[in-house]
């Protein structure tokens, strides 16, 4: 039995910065309103035909591979987490294999939205622990901007989300005292419709229906979120799954050197920080700059925290996420 370690990290965000003031020009909102509710000051949006979910993932992956010290031909498997693939099918994993010029290795797509990267890390960890693979490329990438309702009707959701990608190379670690110690995954589908994008889908509104009806009042192809309900559930599940991970490894809250929460809402992160009595140096947040990038948020934040020297060898690092599904999970790492 082996452990897996994060051997390399990278992220990419588009150059196009969209501030709260920019959004106030297209919908009835303002900087104070957005910051008070979310903590977000700006986010990145792609320029159409310049970036896609896959291309951003490839750019992040190249950085992660270079930093890992392996060659691209050493990558044994790809796991790509996203809710915004370039195509309805196939998924972006195979496109990464093509665009990076990798060997005909396996590629897996993960559809767990905000928890996608945590789920992907868990899957990669199991593959490496069992000895099946040695180096796995894990990517979280999202393009939200092209699918948001940028009107007054959609402002409650559209101000939150941004575009970006993050990537990690997981590699075999034979020192069982280091690397990923455990992962913990959960779901509660009874709340699936509280944070959802219903169409196009094979169970309801099909693409053909939407095109045929051309109903300007049909908002089924825009994301819906019951914000207060999601917030209340998020703070509970974040707390539970962090404690679960710590208890599984005989750790205390005081042992946490760095908590990287999914960047859903700064108010959620601040609530968890206060509840766990963690200092500003123990929790990393960058939602202020990038908004909620769903499956990309944790790898972007983890990469920035590492680049800024806030994570060092021997640290206990905790990743935690909650999102649509509902799904949630945590990862406990000895760096």
Catalytic residues: 114, 262, 292
- How many angstroms separate the most distant Cα atoms in the chain? 60
């Amino acid at each position: 039995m082996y452990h897996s370690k994060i051997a390399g990290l990278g992220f990419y965000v588009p150059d196009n910065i969209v501030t709260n003031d920019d959004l106030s020009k297209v919908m009835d909102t303002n900087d104070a309103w957005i910051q008070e509710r979310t903590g977000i000051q700006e986010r990145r949006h792609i320029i159409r035909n310049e970036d896609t979910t896959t291309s951003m993932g490839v750019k992040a992956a190249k950085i992660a591979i270079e930093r890992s010290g392996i060659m691209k031909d050493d990558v044994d498997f790809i796991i790509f987490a996203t809710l915004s693939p370039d195509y309805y099918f196939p998924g972006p994993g195979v496109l990464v294999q093509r665009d990076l010029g990798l060997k005909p290795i396996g590629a897996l797509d993960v559809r767990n939205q905000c928890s996608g990267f945590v789920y992907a890390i868990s899957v990669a960890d199991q593959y490496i622990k069992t000895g099946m693979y040695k180096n796995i490329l894990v990517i979280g990438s999202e393009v939200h901007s092209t699918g948001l309702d940028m009107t007054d009707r959609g402002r409650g959701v559209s101000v939150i989300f941004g575009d970006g990608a993050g990537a990690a190379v997981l590699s075999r670690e034979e020192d069982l005292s280091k690397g990923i110690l455990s992962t913990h995954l959960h779901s509660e589908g009874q709340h699936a419709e509280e944070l959802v994008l219903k169409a196009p889908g094979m169970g309801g509104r099909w693409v053909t229906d939407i095109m045929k009806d051309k109903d300007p009042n049909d908002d089924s192809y825009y994301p819906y979120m019951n914000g207060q309900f999601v917030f209340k559930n998020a703070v509970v599940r974040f707390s539970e799954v962090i404690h679960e991970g710590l208890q599984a490894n005989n750790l205390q809250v005081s042992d946490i050197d760095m908590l990287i929460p999914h960047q859903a809402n700064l108010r959620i992160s601040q609530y968890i920080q206060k509840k766990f009595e963690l200092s500003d140096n123990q929790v990393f947040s960058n939602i202020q700059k990038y908004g909620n990038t769903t499956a990309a948020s944790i790898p972007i934040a983890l990469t920035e925290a590492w680049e800024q020297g806030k994570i060092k060898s021997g640290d206990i690092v905790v990743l935690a996420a909650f999102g649509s599904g509902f799904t949630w999970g945590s990862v406990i790492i000895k760096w």
